Amino acid sequence: MLKNLPEELFTKGLITQDQFNKIEPIVSGKILSVFYELRTLLYLGVMLFTAGAGILIYKNIGELGHIIAIIVLTIVMIICFWYVYKNSQPYSHNSVEQLTPYFDYVLLLGSLLFVSIQGYLQFQYAILDDNLSTSTIVTAMLFFYLAYRYDHAGILSLAITSFVSFWGISVSPVKWYSGSFFSQSHLHVTAIVLGAVLSLSGLLLHRREIKKHFTFTYLNFGFLLFFCASITGLFIDDHIYGIYLLLIYSGCAFSYFAARISQSFLLLLYAFLAAYIGTTYFLAETLHIFRGEGILWFYYSILSCGGFVFFIIKFKSYFRQPS
């Protein structure tokens, strides 16, 4: 029926002959878009190139020499950033369409090479032993600048990851590269604060209409970090689990609000799973005082499974509606 729609519209005079000629091949399947397939291949090519460069250096380090390898990687990185600088559009608070189709991939390649060179220098020469946290925050600030200046959500993800890593390194003084990773008892508290800060920052920037298409990236990282850390605290600090339970429920309410703004079912799914885990833990701590505990757990299992199915059916279709 859909295939006949362009012809019906043309017959009724609702579209012109030129519009019909453009729409009909697409609807009939004569023209097939491979846009996402090509983007996937380009991203895969960037990842394979950086991985291949690392393997080449590792396999032939005695022949190439460390200095030559670093110089080659640095030259390629500089070429990438030079290409980005020469072919970039002016900054805008809105989404920016770049002039060349390879722009995003070249920028991603240059950024990944920057991280590779930094890691190479650390692993080989240990030059960042005393400045690891400084190096991490500088990397995060650089990636934030690149993400906003050149409108790249992938670089923004790298920036947020580096920013979160900086606080992890600062709170837990570890040598991550040597395997001496010590657990810090209050690291999850830092993660809760960071998750809240990221989520609030995303909503604030959205409200100010600054790169509104970045909002989901902030919320995705923020809520995932917040819920994971709160659930971790629920099990680690079980003597004050009520505080973490309140945090989880508060985060769920906030996540529902954020999900409606960003029209994201995923954020709502995070909240549902976190609330389910928190509620189940609370019942495990309290139901044992009642007689017939097994029956109560049976009814809870049935109701929770039914609730999950209802949740999927109701809200999955809801978020497909136009806002």
Q: Does residue 149 or residue 311 have the better pLDDT?
A: 149
pLDDT at site 43 = 64
Question: How far, in Å, CA of 152 to CA of 139, rounded?
Answer: 16
Which residues, at least 6 apart from 72, have a Cβ–Cβ distance to it below 8 Å?
none
**Closest to 315 measured CA to CA, from 276, 260, 274, 273:** 260
pLDDT at 312 over 90: no
What would the mean pLDDT of 4-10 be, rounded to a whole number? 62
Predicted confidence band at 179 (pLDDT cuts at 50, 70, 90)?
A: very low
Q: Are 156 and 144 in contact (CB under 8 A)?
A: yes
The pLDDT tens digits for 246-298 are 999 999 999 988 888 888 888 888 998 999 899 888 888 887 666 656 677 77
What would the mean pLDDT of 16-29 be, rounded to a whole number? 64
300's tokens: 């809870």
Question: How far, in Å, CA of 317 to CA of 60, rounded?
Answer: 54
Average pLDDT, the chain: 78
Q: Does residue 317 or residue 274 have the better pLDDT?
A: 274
Question: How far, in Å, CA of 19 to CA of 181, rounded?
Answer: 63
Percentage of residues in the chain having pLDDT higher than 70 = 69
pLDDT at site 173 = 47
